[in-house]
Amino acid sequence: MGWELDFLNWINQTMHGWTILNQIFRYITVIGDGGTGWFLLGIILTCIKKTRRAGLTLLAGVIVLGSINNYVIKLLVARPRPYNVAGGEELKVFVDATLTPLINIGSVHLFGMSKDLSFMSGHTVSSAVAATIVYSFNKKVGIPVIVVAVLVSLSRLFLVVHYPTDVIAGAIFGVAGGLGVVWASNKIDKKIKANKSLKESQKTTKIA
């Protein structure tokens, strides 16, 4: 963990002088907050008949794999955020100043500083899942989604809220899990089509 903290402190000391870059990554990272951006994409795809299965698969993947990460893996590993450990004091200053909530409704504060545990990066998991699933269904659409997913993942390092291994592990888990969800979706779709074909065949036989 020593080299990772050194790396984040290096980012803080050398890259945070660019105010506009700080703001760009600040807003990019919102896409992965609670999987918000990917949920919206999934809903949009679900509303279009041609891409409905891709949308449903995306929603299922983000929910299932995100829940496994947030409610199982993070609790088991129990790794504190880099700005909450000794040596991360300067990171804390930057995070407090940069990740102020973007939306404040009474006592509800949204899109602010992450307060849960660190391993694995939930933003990276949901982004990797989304990119893998969309690319599996449509490579043309999947390429820009991959680009956005990579930027969201990098934003977690730029904003020094995750260790590098949090992001790397999240990406591997997200891609592997996304492929698994696509496999399950294809199996279910094939079974539904087979049952539908059987019913149509039986209906035709009765008519004959």
Residue 85, pLDDT score: 92
CA distance 202 to 35: 44
What are the chain's domains?
2-179 (1.10.606.20)
Residue 205, pLDDT score: 58
Higher pLDDT, 2 or 77: 77
Greatest CA span in the chain, whole angstroms?
Answer: 79
Residue 8, pLDDT score: 95
Mean pLDDT across the stretch 91-119? 78
CA 1 to chain centre: 23
Q: State pLDDT tens for residues 29-60.
A: 999 988 899 999 999 999 999 999 999 999 99
CA distance 107 to 40: 25
Tokens of 174: 């997200």
Query: Bridge-partner residues for 104, per DSSP?
Result: 109
Grade residue 71 by pLDDT with cuts at 50, 70 and 90.
very high
Residue 183, pLDDT score: 97
- For residue 96, the one-letter residue type is D
CA-wise closest residue to 174 among 38, 83, 47, 80: 38
Grade residue 116 by pLDDT with cuts at 50, 70 and 90.
confident
Q: State pLDDT tens for residues 181-191.
A: 999 999 998 88
Residue 106, pLDDT score: 66
